[in-house]
Amino acid sequence: MSLLQPMMKPFSLALAGTLASLSLSMCSAATPETANVSEPSPATAENYCAPTVALTPEEETYARVAWQYFLDNRQPTTGFTNAADQYPSGTLWDMGNYLMALNAARWLDLIDQSEFDYQLNQFLTSLSELPLFEEALPTKVYNSATGEMVDYNNQPSDRGLGWSALDIGRLLTAFHIIRTCHPQYEDWLEGIVASWQLERSVQDGQLYGATVSETGETELVQEGRLGYEEYAAKGYQLWGFEVDRALDLQPMQQVTVEGIEVPVDSRDYQTSNANNYVVSESYILHAIEHGLEGELAVAAQAVLEAQKQRYEATGQLTAVSEDNIDQAPHFLYNTVYANGEPWAVITEKNEPYPELRTLSTKAAFGWYYLYPEAAYPQALFAAVKTLHDPAGSGYFAGIYEATGETNAILTGNTNGLLMELFYYKARGSQPLITQP
């Protein structure tokens, strides 16, 4: 992996002096019978996956609220969960969110072993039966209630929309955690992975997605920019794929945001037709699942420090990431930097919506659980820790910066990451993927 340029200035969020100025103190996939569900997985992986730190009573409540989202949005016919509340659609990334939440729910004793096995068996059975794009790989989006391939309007699509290597990488990481913490499912998961032509999504050590052109041609496109590219590549690496170029931080450059040198992918929208957004979530996920070290750790600290410096300059609490929103255009990338602009708020097509910037619940929770002793993450956490549905059906996605109103949409992405964070804390704040 290439190093960041020497001008990168690391800092320690744990140092009290740094923050003292703050005023806020599928071959044929195995069948359900493959899994020995009579053997409780927490017993088989006790020393590796079991919690070692008790959550506080408040955190136990937070976890129950986040898990309720998945209980309310689980489809009874497929076992898949909705990406957004009561909307029967989802991607492989959403499937990964659910598996991470399901694993956390079991280890946090929100469900017993029989319920875990029931949910996972139904999910894996449905996953094994999914129609594939070109009979090779899962397509980009499915109807979560029926398992049909659909378009982005959730209308049936006989062919599908191609595939996302980033989404596949997310799911592969979730598969690895399940096979490690619940080894009786390992053969079944390996059968599913073997039934997919994953080699089509890796070329020359890089990740490639597929799209369908206007003329109906399948086009392979290099996928991933600094942050998410490395995160997704880690998932592939866990399953034996050589993805060295995807793990490399290059090509990148340093840009100055709020006086902080932030690493940014050099391939921007203008030169590559893909956004090089810098957001919180990719670094948070990498940290809690794989661990951050070296230059990637320094990059994550810079991403957080830039947000802290914006707060100090404006008084506006800042924790940005991509999120669904409860109004058009329905999904936005709230960034530290994207395509030449600091604090850009954009769609996938690089359309600007700065008036809809939000404080992201999942980003605020994430930075807090990574740096619980630091004053700025504590302030972020205080702003969102009770930002949930009054009925306890999950956490809302965030708060609109301009109005202070709640971004009142419930999603698997927000609540899934929260579930992971509570499990991460319960494991002594150790990465979920470490050698036993």
In a domain, 1, yes or no: no
- What are the distances in angstroms from CA 219 to CA 91, 201, 209, 214, 257? 20, 12, 8, 10, 35
pLDDT of residue 135: 97
Q: What is the mean pLDDT of residues 81-100?
A: 98
Percentage with pLDDT > 70 across the chain: 89
Which pLDDT tens digit goes with each residue over 281-324?
A: 999 999 999 999 999 999 999 999 999 999 999 999 999 999 99
Residue 345 included in any domain:
yes
In a domain, 215, yes or no: yes
Supply 377's token pair: 């993450």
pLDDT tens digits, 366-404: 999 999 999 999 999 999 999 999 999 999 999 999 999
Q: Is the residue at 172 inside a domain?
A: yes
Query: Is 6 a residue whose pLDDT tops 90?
Result: no
Interval 313-353: pLDDT, tens: 999 999 999 999 999 999 999 999 999 999 999 999 999 99
Per-residue DSSP letters for 188-216? HHHHHHHHS-GGGGEETTEEEEEEE-TTS
Confidence of residue 361 (pLDDT cuts 50, 70, 90): very high
CB contact set of 214 (below 8 Å; sequence gap of 6+): none
Distance between CA 149 and CA 242 in Å, rounded? Answer: 29
* pTM to 2 decimal places: 0.90
Cα separation, 306 vs 294, whole angstroms: 19
For the ranges 4-13, 138-147, 384-393, 408-417, the lowest mean pLDDT is seen at 4-13
Quick check: is 318 in a domain?
A: yes
pLDDT at 46 over 90: no
**pLDDT value for 3:** 27
The set of residues, in sequence order, having a beta carbon less than 8 Å from that of 127 and lying 6+ positions away, is: 26, 95, 192
Written in H, E and C, the secondary structure of 389-426 is CCCCCCEEEEEECCCCCEEEEEEHHHHHHHHHHHHHHH
Residue 126, domain member (yes or no): yes
Tokens of 335: 């960034």
Asked, as a colleague might, if the bond just before 40 is cis with ω within 30 of 0, I would say no
Report the CATH number at residue 43.
1.50.10.140
pLDDT class of 269 with cuts at 50, 70, 90 = confident
What's the total number of domains in the chain?
A: 1
| Structural domain includes residue 7 | no
Query: Nearest 5°: CA angle at 404, between 401 and 407?
Result: 80
Residue 30 has pLDDT above 70, yes or no: no
Provide the residue range defining the domain that includes 276.
16-25+33-426
Burial of 270 (0-12, 13-18, 19+ CB in 10 A): exposed
Look at residue 231 and tell me if it is in a domain. yes
